[in-house]
Chain A
């Protein structure tokens, strides 16, 4: 089943310096259960593409459907959870109250909220931290809490915009491993924006390499790695081959002379 389907999608921002082609003729299908990474230099439109899926930006050309609906309908149907680079937790709410924000907005009963909060907290290994305030948690834990918040209302699609970009390497490895387990356990579809080649190769079933000016898709790589991925798979030849292909794609798509 196709979750996200884009064809000839374009988005042009009109600025004082003339039009900026954030996306040009992007066509891509994301299947249910896929883990799709978007990788590319800044300005390649990877975040913009995610924001178009989420109805945070309106495309200026082409068509896109999310769960067979327009992005706006999909948003109103709460079809996806969105995770930003910053955890964006509300500092005056405890972790469980933060996770409760979307649930309160959707008007769920108190008991239902309670159950969902407990479920997602244990899913991200924060079961004992529900009563803490965000400042009492480390950066990695805060980001896990924000993932829990995105999971709480049980959307099948998870959109993640460089969620681990601000974290250090060790924490990031740990969270990558956890995210894969979570993906495996929940069978969600994940669209994941990243700057990191190892992260993209390690996590994804499909890697979308993008190039800037105008933002477009340069290469789509279907990963041959097995679903089960221990961290040391990153030393395997297969992993390195895929990483090399991603790197070549990034090099070819991006002129560093500019």
Chain B
């Protein structure tokens, strides 16, 4: 049996969202048009004219989808065509800045998370002592701790990519620890007993049983971790003085009321998150297929 196509429902939902968005554009930008007309002491424009004005303002309260799309194209594709894809005015440049911090933070966070989980599963003292700290770390708002990390590391002479990456790490190690502790403990009692009857060492039990058992848990955690790594990198760019990166674009946009710029940076961030999660998802299904996972919909 083939799966029913998902394309039509997905496109329908997108069309509905865009329609609602356009309605909101008129509704939210209209007061400004009326205010201007009142100040200029002229008749407010007729509805059809009003609609076209609300969709072409320079600093709208809510930019129209096509304005955001134009801005996105202007700062990415168009710049690439002109041969300057990595110019400082290009969104590709800013996206790359954020992406590099995201990926570095994600890698460190994953390594740290796995290391902590291995310790927690194998060491009783760590099991009792580390987990509460791990959970406490996540109750501190990242917005509060991000500037401190940047400032402290700057004072220690570390600046640039690493401080931002560490903020990503701070967020992304958490789902990895939680998922991997559960994953490394997922083998059932009989499987662990079997290893015991073979007189397997802790390392053998780890590599032959615990590690492969934890793979589904690892990838589920990685999907969350990569998305919040991106959030961490963006948050980390805000207190750095807004030089470069998607966070900087968001901040600069809000300083100067450039709503179109804010929205296009937001869309870029969302697209980037979607792509990253999708890549992890592909890696997930690739690894599980290599591990001989039962294909969906097949009866044993």
Binding site for B on A (CB under 8 A): 54-56, 75-76, 78, 80-82, 84-86, 88, 90-94, 101-102, 104-106, 133, 135-138
- Cross-chain contact A75 with B212 (CB below 8 angstroms): no
B294 at interface, CB cutoff 8 A: yes
Taking CB atoms, residues of chain B closer than 8 Å to A102 are: 198
Q: Given A92-B291, A93-B292, A136-B300 in contact, is the A84-B194 Cβ separation under 8 Å?
A: yes
Main secondary structure of the interface of A (DSSP, over half): loop
* Contact (Cβ within 8 A) A78 B194: no
Task: Give the contacts of B266-300 with A (CB-CB under 8 A).
Answer: 291-294, 300
Q: Are B212 and A90 in contact (CB under 8 A)?
A: yes
B129 within 8 A of A: no
| Complex interface: chain A residues within 8 A of B204 (CB) | 105
Please tell me the size bucket of the interface on B.
Answer: 20 to 34
A-B contact pairs, 16 of them (CB 8 A): A82-B193, A82-B194, A84-B194, A85-B190, A86-B190, A90-B191, A90-B208, A90-B209, A92-B293, A101-B208, A104-B208, A105-B198, A105-B199, A105-B200, A135-B300, A138-B300
Query: With a CB–CB cut-off of 8 A, which chain A residues contact B196?
Result: 55-56, 75
B43 surroundings in chain A (CB, below 8 A) = none
Contacts of A93 in B (CB 8 A): 292
Residues of B whose CB lies within 8 Å of any CB of A are 188, 190-191, 193-200, 204, 208-209, 212, 215, 291-294, 300
- A105 close to B197 (CB less than 8 A): no
Q: How many Å lie between the Cα of A16 and that of B96 in the bound state?
A: 60
Question: If the complex has contacts A76-B199, A101-B198, A102-B198, are A91 and B193 also in contact, measured as CB distance less than 8 A?
Answer: no
Expressed in whole angstroms, the Cα–Cα distance for A88 and B196 within the complex equals 14
A133 & B294 in contact (Cβ 8 Å cutoff): yes
Query: Shortest distance in angstroms between A199's beta carbon and chain B's nearest beta carbon?
Result: 21
Q: How far is the CA of A102 from the CA of B188 in the complex (A)?
A: 17
Q: A78 to B191, alpha carbons, bound, how many Å?
A: 17
Note all chain B residues with C-beta closer than 8 A to A80.
197
Q: List the A residue with the shortest CB-CB distance to B291.
A: A92
CB distance from A53 to the nearest CB of B (A): 11
Cα distance, A94 to B292, chains bound together (Å): 8
In the bound assembly, the distance between CA atoms of A136 and B294 in angstroms comes to 8
Residue contact B198 to A106, C-beta cutoff 8 Å: yes
Report the minimum CB–CB distance from B207 to chain A (whole Å).
Answer: 10
Q: Could you say which of B196, B215, B292 has the most chain A C-beta atoms within 10 Å of its C-beta?
A: B292
Measured CB to CB, the closest approach of chain B to A146, in angstroms, equals 9
